Structure 1
Amino acid sequence: MPLFGKKDSGKKIKSKDIRELNKTVPIEDKYILHDTLGTGAFSEVRLAVSRENPDQHYAVKIIDKKALKGKEESLENEIRVLRRFSANQQIDGELEPGTRLTHPNIVQLYETFEDKSKIYLVMELVTGGELFDRIVEKGSYTEKDASDLIRQILEAVAYMHKEGVVHRDLKPENLLFYSPDDDAKIMISDFGLSKTEDSGTMATACGTPGYVAPEVLAQKPYGKAVDVWSIGVISYILLCGYPPFYDENDANLFAQILKGDFEFDSPYWDDISESAKDFIRHLMCVDVKKRYTCEQALAHPWISGNAAGNKNIHATVSEQLKKNFAKSRWKQAYIAATVIRQMQRMALSSSNSSGEGGSKTNLLKDSKLNVPSDSSQRSDTDESIHVENIETTKTTTSNAEIKNQRISSPTSCLNGSGQAK
């Protein structure tokens, strides 16, 4: 029986979310679309500027309807989840009933538009880059830093769970820093595989193998606890730089996860507090009933108290991150350079037209960059609507990274070599 082949047995998603896209106003009336930041099988992401306020910048995800045909349900699901966490959603110029303020650590969807051939999602931009990249770049990194990062993630996911949403694909690539500032907050992105509890029982084996919970692999019905397991895996990696589960053989890898078979190896964990290890054990508990909830995790002394150590562990962690999660930086560099060039042109144009020399600095300072859902390689058969980064050169990836690539299509199956078929 194929491992990743079981479908959700939930209610059929209605087409309400796509019907409610703004069809009355063309997106070009409100936004100026600039350079392409990323492309994928179904969509592209472009930098956009508000016509009303040129200092406001966004990422616009543009989805081709023709390419989307047959996969509308996944897009409806993603839009519905994003709307649940976004403030001031407008439908035909009016606020959607029940609109609420979102959580500060969740990337927002601001507006949606539709024309004859495309669907447009206007989303928040963030500029700080991915979680692991920032840690490697830091000169100092402590257990307390890791604790602060996990606290932010837990607070955001606790909010999601309270609102009845399970992310189902929490991993470092979906955790972005809001800005390059040292004290920038973490933002959760990529809700393509998220599910609302009111949409029915969750049983689909989906997500990224290295971060997926045992009950998902066991093809059992599951719920919010799968996100807590993933946070446990992320916590483990943040403290040592390598994944808790790894094997060249897929069957062995899945067996490790199903058993919760992980260790705190010496010398990598010698300087890590017992409180941190206790915290991780409670999050990566195979027994779902005994596994912590987000609220329980937030109350743990490693998060809420002073149990996290202050020793600099940057050298060990960064070395292991580079070894086990080696990702080419050219993709992010390409996107960042594209945005900067575009903003410089915009700033120069603004300066020439207004005669004010200070606009360029302010424009670059206030810019926010995020390419939603774009950080990992994805299959063309992905039933969620995602965007892949532009690929212009050959790269090499570590075996551990290959194991942690997403199995993103709810209906895709794995053959013996771990490849989608």
Structure 2
Amino acid sequence: MPLFGKKDSGKRPKSKDTKELNKQVSIEEKYNLHGLLGTGAFSEVRLAESKDTPGDHFAVKIIDKKALKGKEESLENEIRVLRRLTHPNIVQLLETYEDKAKVYLVMELVTGGELFDRIVEKGSYTEKDASHLIRQILEAVDYMHEQGVVHRDLKPENLLYYSPEDDSKIMISDFGLSKMEDSGIMATACGTPGYVAPEVLAQKPYGKAVDVWSIGVISYILLCGYPPFYDENDANLFAQILKGEFEFDSPYWDEISESAKHFIKNLMCVNVEKRYTCKQALGHPWISGNEASSKNIHGTVSEQLKKNFAKSRWKQAYYAATVIRQMQRMALSSNSSGSADGHSSLNTSTATTATATATDNGNGRNCVKDAEGEANVGAIKQSSSATSAPSLNESPHADIKNHQRISPNCSFSGKAN
């Protein structure tokens, strides 16, 4: 059944888990909807359990049609993009439902937490670890590009661990600003300052290369703990990015291999023609060979991450309490009534450290993303220490503020795409 009464021409993954948007079958017939995980401007996210396979849990994003009125195209775009993508390192849209008042997106439940939080919590961290993370991201984005999709908002907050396990894979989420290349020329300035490519800020037509630039910025941060571009004044920040001005500051980069620096320079190349593609990046010896160092850089990187990317702990604590209460209620209910197949409703050992927030992805929401940032649909983030990060006087970018996300309606944006 077409979304909002319109024909959906998006390509769907050939998966038994992915179904047509269905107005006849109610989501309540297939899932038990449990507690609230988070809210956004147009939506809320709830924990859901499959009725067919009790014990299987998902995140369901519930969008209010009335609140979304006039901005339906944004949601339709996100659904089309997600239906086109089936990759082990991309958070999956499994099913969609619709009734008169709401649209329901059934997503994978990702419980491993955000990228930077996990690095800080590790006891050891090396270039090889960073290389392994970047390889997974490159493989997913390369696949995405082969499918004609440009993410346009790659950043650490959108990189999540699938599970709390030490060997968990990394997942890419939040496709609210993504676009399919076959739907027209991209010229709109959108993304998140600090991660956005020069050609986007220059309001030039752009393509897949903007994602590679963002991966370069992420790679830089993963090796030192602070961003390559920073200024409290956005105009100055944009000027730095447009010129591609960044340094490998001493002492933070003294122990980092020349191969890693060469890799980053080729990803953050202002000249789009010379910038690596994902495939070229995957072939670089720092990714595919043995040139990534095994030296432990955890101390320096984790301290800089805590200093420069500190989050709002009260917000995490609030959502942690919400998720914990909901999961405990589910566990108690399961223990009292019992499941037909003997599975408990939830493993509460995971819930005790979980936090969750929701986001309204897409171009249709407010022009600028909330300065504190929001987590991603389907994500349950592992909370890190509630204590404030120690001050490092030598930090190159002390007390970096969270930059706001640029959406296509912002004042400096180019022509609409």
TM superposition score category, shorter chain reference: 0.7 to 0.9
Counterpart Cα distance in 2 of 1:14 and 1:257: 42
Contact map agreement 1:207 1:406 (CA 8 A) in 2? yes
Quote the residue 2:138 is aligned against: 154
Q: CA deviation at 1:178?
A: 0.5
Quote the residue 1:374 is aligned against: 359
TM-score, normalised on structure 2? 0.83
Change in Cα spacing, 1:141 to 1:340, as seen in structure 2 (3 Å) is same
Quote the residue 2:405 is aligned against: 406
Counterpart Cα distance in 2 of 1:370 and 1:84: 29
Quote the residue 1:49 is aligned against: 49
Residue identity matched to 2:146: K
Quote the residue 2:337 is aligned against: 353
Counterpart Cα distance in 2 of 1:245 and 1:304: 27
Contact map agreement 2:319 2:357 (CA 8 A) in 1? no
Q: CA deviation at 1:352?
A: 1.7
TM-score, normalised on structure 1? 0.83
Contact map agreement 1:63 1:118 (CA 8 A) in 2? yes
Residue pairs, 1:73-222, within 5 angstroms: 73-85=73-85, 102-222=86-206
Quote the residue 2:310 is aligned against: 326
Consecutive unaligned residues of structure 1, counting only runs of 5 or more, are: 1-12, 86-101, 416-421
Quote the residue 1:29 is aligned against: 29
Change in Cα spacing, 1:357 to 1:43, as seen in structure 2 (3 Å) is closer
1:17 and 2:17 aligned: no
Q: CA deviation at 1:23?
A: 0.5
Give the 3-state SS of the residue equivalent to 2:366 in structure 1.
Answer: coil
Residue identity matched to 1:17: D
Contact map agreement 2:217 2:268 (CA 8 A) in 1? yes
Counterpart Cα distance in 2 of 1:75 and 1:356: 37
Question: Which of residues 196, 210, 220 is equivalent to 1:236?
Answer: 220
Give the 3-state SS of the residue equivalent to 1:37 in structure 2.
Answer: strand
Question: Which of residues 315, 336, 339 is equivalent to 2:299?
Answer: 315
Change in Cα spacing, 1:298 to 1:30, as seen in structure 2 (3 Å) is same
Quote the residue 2:272 is aligned against: 288
Consecutive unaligned residues of structure 2, counting only runs of 5 or more, are: 11-19, 377-386, 390-397
Give the 3-state SS of the residue equivalent to 1:270 in structure 2.
Answer: coil
Q: CA deviation at 1:241?
A: 0.4
Q: CA deviation at 1:413?
A: 1.3
Contact map agreement 2:89 2:172 (CA 8 A) in 1? yes
Contact map agreement 2:187 2:200 (CA 8 A) in 1? yes
Q: CA deviation at 1:354?
A: 3.0
Counterpart Cα distance in 2 of 1:254 and 1:112: 39
Q: CA deviation at 1:348?
A: 2.1
Contact map agreement 2:153 2:191 (CA 8 A) in 1? yes
Counterpart Cα distance in 2 of 1:23 and 1:228: 39
Residue identity matched to 1:335: Y
Counterpart Cα distance in 1 of 2:337 and 2:366: 47
Counterpart Cα distance in 1 of 2:375 and 2:283: 38
Give the 3-state SS of the residue equivalent to 2:87 in structure 1.
Answer: coil
1:369-419 Cα shifts (integer Å, max 9, x gaps): 89686399x9952499xx9569xxxx99985233x3311x2112159xxxx
Counterpart Cα distance in 1 of 2:248 and 2:93: 39
1:271-306 Cα shifts (integer Å, max 9, x gaps): 000000000000000000000000000000000011
Give the 3-state SS of the residue equivalent to 1:16 in structure 2.
Answer: coil
Q: CA deviation at 1:17?
A: 3.2
Q: CA deviation at 1:346?
A: 1.9
Contact map agreement 2:35 2:47 (CA 8 A) in 1? yes
Bigger mean CA offset, 260-269 vs 50-59 = 50-59
Contact map agreement 2:160 2:173 (CA 8 A) in 1? yes
Counterpart Cα distance in 1 of 2:193 and 2:262: 23
Question: Which of residues 327, 333, 352 is equivalent to 1:343?
Answer: 327
Counterpart Cα distance in 2 of 1:278 and 1:235: 12
Change in Cα spacing, 1:211 to 1:118, as seen in structure 2 (3 Å) is same
Change in Cα spacing, 1:113 to 1:168, as seen in structure 2 (3 Å) is same
Counterpart Cα distance in 2 of 1:294 and 1:258: 21
- Equivalences, count: 377
1:56-114 Cα shifts (integer Å, max 9, x gaps): 111110111111011011111000001111xxxxxxxxxxxxxxxx1100000011111
**TM-align CA RMSD:** 3.1
Residue identity matched to 2:7: K
Give the 3-state SS of the residue equivalent to 2:185 in structure 1.
Answer: coil
Bigger mean CA offset, 215-224 vs 347-356 = 347-356
Contact map agreement 2:330 2:345 (CA 8 A) in 1? no
